[in-house]
Homo-oligomer: A and B are copies of this chain.
Amino acid sequence: MVEHPVLRQAQLQISCLGPRPHPSPLQRSAEEATSSGGFVPDTMRVLYEPRYCVGEEINPLAFERAGARREIYFDPSQTQAAVVTCGGLCPGINNVIRSLVLELRHNYGVRSVLGIRYGYRGLTPQSGHPPRPLTVQDVESIHHQGGTILGSSRGAQKTEVIVDFLTQQKIDILFCVGGDGTQCGAHVIAEEVARRQLPIAIVGIPKTIDNDIKFCFRTFGFYSAIAEAEQVIDCAHVEAKGVENGIGLVKLMGREAGFIAAGATMASGEANFTLIPEVPLELHGPRGFLRALERRLEARDHAVVVVAEGVGQELLGQASARHDASGNRRLGDIGPFLKEHIESHFETQNKRVSVKYFDPSYHIRSVPANAADSLLCERLARHAVHAAMAGKTDLLIGLWHNHLIHVPLATSTGEKKRLSPTSNLWTSVLALTGQAKWFG
């Protein structure tokens, strides 16, 4: 049996506010284990690991399956929900807001939905931006817009102040759309709510363009982001081929995980080198990147390089140490760093190269969601509503083997998903770019 190194079944236990006295207003078929469109029993699970080797045992570690419950905790006619969006933009936030409102109002018939302005700051009295009621009409066409109609912000607020605010505003359910930091914040709020024994459900919807949230196979916005990134790589390819010894250098998002760089590389098929934070970068020396780039140019006259923003922080650390005194502000920016080192490397060799540098980050994250992401947003949001109406709390909605699951916030947060260099995805990137052969 393949055991998970750390995860234990107890850590996947979902909290609930209490018994569920109300029948669901949804029209669904009877509960059955294999019919996901019907009501889902609380006992249904999704295996952590559906793979096994013949002769071994199957590991029963499993998540609680998300879905509509036959009985619910909240009386819809008395319930007020609220949505808050935090952190950086990501394609699909407005889709999530829209689907939350539509499911809550149209299908469950809750009394009211509030939109919290500008992130967690909007959950404090001093923000200057009171919550804004969200009607069906308000959200009807927002899914065609990028960004968030509610506004966002970064950073935490005092937990006590937020919970006071929830109580004063009579908010029964809070949906927190955001990344790892946001979900940590949601967990702390849920703990304070529990301490005060308040009947408030806190449900997280993971949002991270980097696709680095644990137990989410794919986060919304990821496909939209790599579709945009693919276009930029294609442009870099055009530029690289437009001159002798042209080098197109594209920096993509990914502070700690190379998923966007890898995904966009796969989608584009035009990158010759893809550099990710999970694989250490050696710049100089006979097996270093610069020498590899040199070999590629000798063979093919042009090259496209994709680099995730989190690459080579150890190299940049040295650089910044060297330059700090002279006021260098580019500390930590691998893009210009790499451009400079490429240029100076070939200068010392009297080889004329032309580096075209692309940094499309804000462009990528502010586009509307594409079709694949729209679908995912729809599913995530509606399942978040199901969880909340059932009184489940302190959880986020994950995606596991195409099934939506409940993951306790305490288990999901605090550590990010990373791209394993032994994964299928990374092997595919290597196969596609063929970059290994230039490293000599």
The interface residues of chain B lying within 8 Å CB-to-CB of A236 are 362, 366
Of B41, B52, B146, B402, the contact of A47 (CB 8 Å cutoff): B52
Of B366, B420, B436, the contact of A239 (CB 8 Å cutoff): B366
A184 at the interface (CB under 8 A from B): no
Report the minimum CB–CB distance from A388 to chain B (whole Å): 15
Q: How far is the CA of A52 from the CA of B43 in the complex (A)?
A: 8
Q: How far is the CA of A268 from the CA of B372 in the complex (A)?
A: 10
Q: Known: A266-B375, A267-B375. Is A244-B401 also a contact (CB below 8 A)? A: no
Of B41, B58, B129, the contact of A58 (CB 8 Å cutoff): B58
The interface residues of chain B lying within 8 Å CB-to-CB of A99 are 432
A212 at the interface (CB under 8 A from B): no
Report the minimum CB–CB distance from A154 to chain B (whole Å): 9
A69 at the interface (CB under 8 A from B): no
Q: Specify which of A33, A37, A107, A357 lies most central, judged by the most chain B CB atoms within 10 Å of its CB.
A: A37
- How many copies of this chain does one complex carry? 4
A195 at the interface (CB under 8 A from B): no
A378 at the interface (CB under 8 A from B): yes
Q: Are B243 and A38 in contact (CB under 8 A)?
A: no
The interface residues of chain B lying within 8 Å CB-to-CB of A268 are 374
When C-beta atoms are compared, the residue in chain B nearest to A129 turns out to be: B244
Q: How far is the CA of A263 from the CA of B359 in the complex (A)?
A: 23
Q: Are A235 and B146 in contact (CB under 8 A)?
A: yes
Q: Are A266 and B428 in contact (CB under 8 A)?
A: no
Q: Known: A41-B53, A45-B53. Is A145-B238 also a contact (CB below 8 A)? A: yes
Q: How far is the CA of A421 from the CA of B68 in the complex (A)?
A: 16
Interface hit among A59-67, A72-80, A282-290: A59-67
Q: How far is the CA of A434 from the CA of B268 in the complex (A)?
A: 35
Q: How far is the CA of A332 from the CA of B227 in the complex (A)?
A: 33
A103 at the interface (CB under 8 A from B): yes
Size band of the interface chain A makes with B: 35 or more
Q: How far is the CA of A167 from the CA of B152 in the complex (A)?
A: 48
Q: Are B44 and A51 in contact (CB under 8 A)?
A: yes
When C-beta atoms are compared, the residue in chain B nearest to A4 turns out to be: B34
Q: Are B89 and A238 in contact (CB under 8 A)?
A: yes
Q: How far is the CA of A152 from the CA of B239 in the complex (A)?
A: 10
Q: How far is the CA of A423 from the CA of B38 in the complex (A)?
A: 7
Q: How far is the CA of A61 from the CA of B425 in the complex (A)?
A: 26
Q: Are B118 and A243 in contact (CB under 8 A)?
A: yes
The interface residues of chain B lying within 8 Å CB-to-CB of A56 are 33
Q: Known: A51-B47, A238-B89, A360-B360. Is A269-B98 also a contact (CB below 8 A)? A: yes
A123 at the interface (CB under 8 A from B): no
The interface residues of chain B lying within 8 Å CB-to-CB of A403 are 50-51
The interface residues of chain B lying within 8 Å CB-to-CB of A46 are 50-51
7 residue pairs, one from A and one from B, having the closest CB atoms: A401-B401, A37-B427, A267-B371, A147-B238, A227-B371, A50-B50, A36-B424
Known: A146-B238, A217-B402, A227-B370. 4 other contacts (CB 8 A): A89-B239, A267-B375, A268-B374, A360-B360
